Structure 1
Amino acid sequence: MGKRSSQRRSAAMLDSEDDNSSVSSCTSMRSDNVLATEEVQLDKDTLLDQAVDALYEKRASTREKALSFIIEAFSNNVQHQFVEKKFATLLHQCLNSIKRGSSTEISLASHAIGLLALTVGPGDNAHEILEESVTPITQSLKSGSESSKIASLLECLAIITFVGANDPEETEKSIQIIWQLVHPKQGSNVVPVKRSAAVITALVSSWAFLLTTMDEWMLSPKNWRESISYFISLLEKDDRSVRIAAGEALVLIFEICSLEKLSAQDKGSNDGSSPERNKSQEGWMHIQGLKTKFLNQVRYLSTEAGGRGSTKKDLNSQRNLFKDILEFLEDGYSPETSMKIGGESLSTSTWSQMIQLNFLKRFLGGGFVNHMQENEYLQDVLGFTSKRKNIPGAEHRLSSTEKRMLRSSNSCLNKARTQLLNKQRMLVQGRNAGHFAVNMNDEEL
């Protein structure tokens, strides 16, 4: 009896060992999958940690390389987890670069701050970015005239205001900062600065991007008229990118507040006195003159023949834009656009939506598609639903630059990965040892 009982107990143990062996095998497979994912995330986080640490270095070239890596990482993926840990550190190191860096470093830091704002989305952190950044950006805009630096600062100001402003007054403050580059405050020490085409394009595009969040009553008729006059003058510039940016800004103004409303406001200011009546009539004539001039320019630019040094693509972009503007001014139809992202359509049906989309596409560059698939804030802004939500591992892809850095045998990342592998193996061995210890105790019983 005792022998048969022992045999049954031994058979049961063998069955149990086979079952546990299968369970252990499956557990190991799952552990390997989890480990692979954790490895990649560890690699990415460690790389970003190293890049942020490099922002403390004295050598400017080291800081610039670190900022370039941060920009690539934040463009390619939405770094929510990293931002939760290093938001304040990254922000203040980028601000230090804007305050004390070269033009190249300022350009990179500005772009990084804009990406940081798009990553955190609206809320306290985004508002902190705006509050902390406005003064350094404004001061940097006033110092020097290097085109790429000024353009990057303008785009950064537009992005952080778009995301972080809590009320129209904060947005209007940023719009006025941008406008001061066009019409600086009068003073004995104010020297007119001739802006490059790249700066003018960035200035107009940033101004229009922020205007998409404003209502017509938030700006005075005088401000509207100043803007219209300036942008119409830009339609005569040689640079096609300037003309396109000015055309978009003008048609946005007309979408928000028609010239007829501006004229009515001027006429409504009449209090019955002769001087005021004359001013009102002058305002009416001025508005009508602007309208006529703009329509003539739109008709010409919609059919313009190719000029010297212009590419066919740029020429077609200009013609198509101004044809759409002409149709809007004459018939009231806004252009409808649509693009496919991951099998889903991203569409626009107003000038405001199209301008927001174009600005964000330019700012994010090659990372635009990834952000539209993963960044819920941008999806809300542009009214897009991604199929990529909740796809396991979708956010764990390494870029070519990251892969090159990981190939180095002396990399800290390789050491960290080895430590993680060793830790994981020890955990698996510990589970197996515990399993055998339990079986041995059962056998003794």
Structure 2
Amino acid sequence: MGKRNSQRKNAAMLDSDDDISVSSSPTSRTGRVSVSGTQEVHFDQDYLLDQALDALDEKRGSTREKAFSLIIGAFKSNMQHQFVDKKFATLLHQCLASIKRGSKQASAKEVALASHVIGLLALTVECGDNAREIFEESIRPLDEFLTSKSDSIKVPSLLECLAIITFVGGNNQEETERSMDIMWRVIHPKLGSNVVTVKPSAPLITTVVSAWSFLLSTMSELKLNSKNWQNSISYLSSLLDKEDRPVRIAAGKALALIFEIGVMEKLSANSISAMTREESKPQESYIHLQGLKGKVITQVKNLSVEAGGKGSAKKDLNHQRSVFRDIVEFFEYGYTPEISMKIGGDSLQTSSWSQVIQLNFIRHFLGGGFIKHMQENEFLHDVFGFTPRRRYLNNNEPRMSSGEKRMFKSPNSPQSKARTQFLNKQRLLSEGRNFGHYAANVVDDAF
């Protein structure tokens, strides 16, 4: 019963994106610029990118916004390896400059576009020295901006950028945990004398939970701080009662992931072990955990059969029911969602909540560029175990896989040193500017 039903409509597990089409078409290395509305002049895309990069130095914010939009379009339509090899450090610095000036001089749109470019840049360089450099150079300004709470409109794009650069360029679990903690503090700020608490909006909560879950899906080992994990699960459980449907769905998937990686079982086992050692209050902790687990199961069952109310969109309601039916089947029978989607004639398959969450997040981030990246981005091939049959159609010599790049790319290479020197010079030039104080204290675990 459960297995058959779990496969009834696996496409429902994919978040809907209007600008994504699961098909492919050839893309060109040339761009077209309309002159006087009639004549078209063709330029090589690298030339257009060079022009856009130069425009990022312009004082007019609208000019910078147009330049970022052009760069995003180019990075989604093609894998810009040639441009990145030549202009990687310059582009990264310009994006960070827009984010740093965001508190006063840059519009919310510019900050969002610059953040998106950084994420696309990380996915384009794949793993290796460049991805590592993006993470190290970006984590501080992103943390500063997210901590400042200067403009909540700019926060979602910054959160998605933080998730992507950590996913690609983070080297260890501690760095992933730090990024997750930064995200969690956006909706759960640590109280202090100078902290003003503002009730987060539903879209912001959805973005935080989705980005946090995306990074949690990469964790191989977990630090089981019982109290923090119970607080996180309790909070996600409370979100299941919210009116906003995307919030419920994001929370439901996060809880499914938490159950999938065995957090509840490990916490329960720790409580039982503590009881045998006669430690203080272990039985109370165990009882609380079991009660919390039972509450979550009841909530997801109710959401899987929720009746439509006044003003309820049928499509959204059906999507919610489908997602929560899959969660119920996972809780009751252990069946994980199985998704199969065609990409240019090749089949991409997932069979776990971790993969579902990663697939949805990357599809959302790449938008219309998802198909192109899935066909040509070797890092994503490794992530999803996906190998297009016509992978080397236009290239007889296969490029190194991202795993090989990790092995053979030295952080002491001349190219890496040159980029680092360039960025250090840029930092020294901007030292006198006030971009906000960075709290270098060690953060507590988010869970």
DSSP 3-state at the match of 2:347: strand
Please give the TM-score of this superposition, normalised by the length of structure 2.
0.76
Aligned to 2:198: 193
Aligned to 2:69: 68
Relative to its length, the structure with more helix (as a share) is 1
Alignment partners' CA distance in 2, 1:43 and 1:118: 22
The amino acid that maps onto 2:165 is I
DSSP 3-state at the match of 2:187: coil
Are the counterparts in 2 of residues 342 and 387 from structure 1 also a CA contact under 8 Å? no
Matches within 5 A, 1:254-269: 254-269=259-274
After the TM superposition, which of the residue ranges 300-309 and 51-60 deviates more from structure 2?
A: 300-309
1:267 positional shift: 2.8
Alignment partners' CA distance in 2, 1:307 and 1:118: 41
Matches within 5 A, 1:204-283: 204-270=209-275, 272-273=277-278, 276-277=279-280, 279-283=281-285
DSSP 3-state at the match of 1:140: helix
Alignment partners' CA distance in 2, 1:308 and 1:136: 44
Uncovered stretches (5+) of structure 2, i.e. residues with no partner:
1-27, 32-41, 396-447
1:171 positional shift: 0.7
Alignment partners' CA distance in 2, 1:145 and 1:266: 42
Aligned to 1:77: 78
The amino acid that maps onto 1:199 is L
Aligned to 1:313: 315
Are the counterparts in 2 of residues 147 and 198 from structure 1 also a CA contact under 8 Å? no
Alignment partners' CA distance in 2, 1:264 and 1:145: 43
1:266 positional shift: 2.1
| 1:33-64 deviations in Å (ceiling 9; x for gaps) | xxxx8877961000000111111000111001
DSSP 3-state at the match of 1:218: coil
1:145 positional shift: 5.6
183 and 111 in structure 1: CA distance in 2 versus 1, 3 angstrom threshold: same
1:380 positional shift: 1.2
The amino acid that maps onto 1:373 is Q
The amino acid that maps onto 2:146 is L
Are the counterparts in 2 of residues 231 and 250 from structure 1 also a CA contact under 8 Å? yes
Matches within 5 A, 1:143-222: 143-144=148-149, 146-222=151-227
1:116 aligns with 2:121: yes
Are the counterparts in 2 of residues 56 and 63 from structure 1 also a CA contact under 8 Å? yes
1:317 positional shift: 1.4
51 and 388 in structure 1: CA distance in 2 versus 1, 3 angstrom threshold: farther
Please give the TM-score of this superposition, normalised by the length of structure 1.
0.76
The amino acid that maps onto 2:222 is W
1:272 positional shift: 4.4
The amino acid that maps onto 1:363 is F
Aligned to 1:403: none
| 1:280-321 deviations in Å (ceiling 9; x for gaps) | 111111111111110111111001112333322211111111
DSSP 3-state at the match of 2:348: strand
1:80 positional shift: 0.8
DSSP 3-state at the match of 1:181: helix
DSSP 3-state at the match of 2:222: helix
After the TM superposition, which of the residue ranges 181-190 and 97-106 deviates more from structure 2?
A: 181-190
1:269 positional shift: 2.9
Uncovered stretches (5+) of structure 1, i.e. residues with no partner:
1-36, 394-445
DSSP 3-state at the match of 2:44: helix
Matches within 5 A, 1:364-379: 364-379=366-381
Higher RCO, Cα 8 Å, sep 6+: 2
Aligned to 1:349: 351
